[in-house]
Structure 1
Amino acid sequence: MKPVVFIHGFLGGSQQWQSQAEALKDLGVIALDLPGFGENAKLAPLDSIPAYAKWTLNELSALGIERFHLIGHSMGGMVVQEIVAHAPERVDRLVLYGTGATGVLPGRFETIDTSKQRAKTDGPQTTARRIAATWFLEWEEAEAYEECAAIAEKCSLQAILAGLDAMRDWSGTKSLKNIETRTLVIWGDCDRTYPWGQTERLWQSISGANLSVIPDCAHAAHLEKPVLFNRLLSDFFTD
């Protein structure tokens, strides 16, 4: 049985996947914390998407896991695209969730350079809480907001700036046509970070990719509508 490996996004962490870990427990779930984030906030952050991909592959090898299903959210979606580009033989099925093929995002709630400047001015905790609010349709009033904000607040300013630099300098557009792994693209239809054009490019560029659009959700559909989200994953990974 191949486990499902979850890679969180910018300012995220493994604890965000608790509902998915329970729903997919029969498959086996491995939720990693990238260096500088979540439970690995004390580790030195990396400053490129390929570096995060290499770190992830090494971690899985150290756990004795050579083949797996893979899901990446937001920045984590960039990381998993890089993993598939360099080690396609290790990924059985792929989910690209709330993500895109470019790090510089037209239509993002603010530019990456603006996020960097505001992080330096406001500090990491204020930045973490402000950005975490954009993930939800109801902003700070969302039920899961405080939990996500607490995870985001673990990040240092160094980790925030490194993550933003990693996204800004990355593009996976040229690799999309080479992805042969069976792929599901998931998007919340009110996502403020990744507009439809980013999602459409993934769906149309990856041969045979399936698309699921979750209504009335922003960037954290797995927390806003977990029952629907978990059913999509279960069907995809067990079909």
Structure 2
Amino acid sequence: MSPADVGDTGGRSEERPLVLVHGYLGGAGQWADLRQAFSNRFRVVTIDLPGFSDAAHRPAPATIGGFADDVIAQLDALGIDRFCLLGHSMGGMIVQEMAHKIPSRVDRLVLYGTGPLGRMPDRFETLEVSLERLDCEGVAATARRIAATWFVKGEDHPGFQIVNRIGAMASAAAAQSSLQAMADWDGRPNLSSLTMPSLVVWGDRDKSYRWPQVETLWSGLPDASLAVVPGASHAVHLEKPDIFTAIVMDYLTSR
């Protein structure tokens, strides 16, 4: 299954699947270090969303719910029934939709650098501006500009080159339609139905999702914990990898 990249952890039956879903202009490759860190405890499954990274040839859905359906179909094809689920940024919106659609299959939910409203109030720029600049500047320039906002040090952080390269692989159609899909999405009415244990992870210098979004997500979920990482922006797993891994591992393995 080329759209899904399955981490080989030895195939032991007791290993729980951990599904990682990237966000806008992301890809499975951004999780390389995290996959290695979790591979001893989980069967790590990383997804390339249609229209992005190595799945850029696949047409992107027009809605966040459509992306959720695509990821569910990929997991069904892999024979994965119950799993832990982590989503980053737009991927956090997608996994909220998945948890609403198939709640009995989601063991634990990690919502990372995300919120319950696709329009992202107080984002570094509005989605409308992003659409206009995408149309004028193209995918590569847009990916570079947006990727720089993911890090406190911008382009000077080593992780910038990783996400910049992956972001530039997106199809122009997916880059455009996904911005509109986010603009049309509101997950707030479904928060109370997401009763599985959940963890919200946020970098306190995130330029995309500000505290009011994060607080609404945390307070609206019935069984949520919150981890705020100081001195990190949108790519906490690359800026503060040891802290991020420790927080998520502790949460997923605690009883």
- Length-normalised TM-score, structure 2: 0.92
CA RMSD of aligned residues (A): 0.7
Match of 1:148 in 2: 163
Aligned residue for 1:93, secondary structure, equals strand
Give unmatched runs, 5+ long, in structure 1: none
Unaligned runs of 5+ residues in structure 2 are 1-14
Partner-residue secondary structure (3-state), 1:23: helix
Q: CA deviation at 1:38?
A: 1.2
| Superposition map of 1:131-210 within 5 A | 131-210=146-225
CA distance in 1, matches of 2:172, 2:194: 34
CA–CA distance in structure 2, aligned partners of residues 54 and 208 of structure 1: 24
Whole-Å separation in 2 of the counterparts to 1:78 and 1:35: 15
How much does 1:54 deviate?
Answer: 0.4
Q: What one-letter code is carried by the residue in structure 2 that aligns with 1:195?
A: R
Q: Once the 2 structures are TM-superposed, how far is the Cα of residue 156 of structure 1 from its aligned partner?
A: 2.0
Listed as ranges, the matches of 1:26-41 within 5 Å are: 26=40, 27-41=42-56
| Same amino acid, percent of matched pairs | 44
Spell out structure 1 runs of 4+ moving beyond 2 A: none
TM-score normalised by L of structure 1: 0.99
1:121-172 residue CA offsets vs partner (Å, 9 max, x unmatched):
0111111111111111111111110111000000122111011011000000
CA distance in structure 1 between the partners assigned to 2:197 and 2:253 by the alignment? 13
Residue in 2 that maps onto 1:25: 39
Aligned mates of 2:77, 2:124 — CA distance in 1 = 38
Cα drift, residue 105 of structure 1: 1.2
Q: Deviation per CA, 1:166-199: give whole Å up to 9, x if none.
A: 1000000000011111000000000000000111
Q: How many residues align?
A: 239
1:2: how far off?
Answer: 1.7
2:16 maps to a residue whose letter is K
The residue aligned with 1:3 is: 17
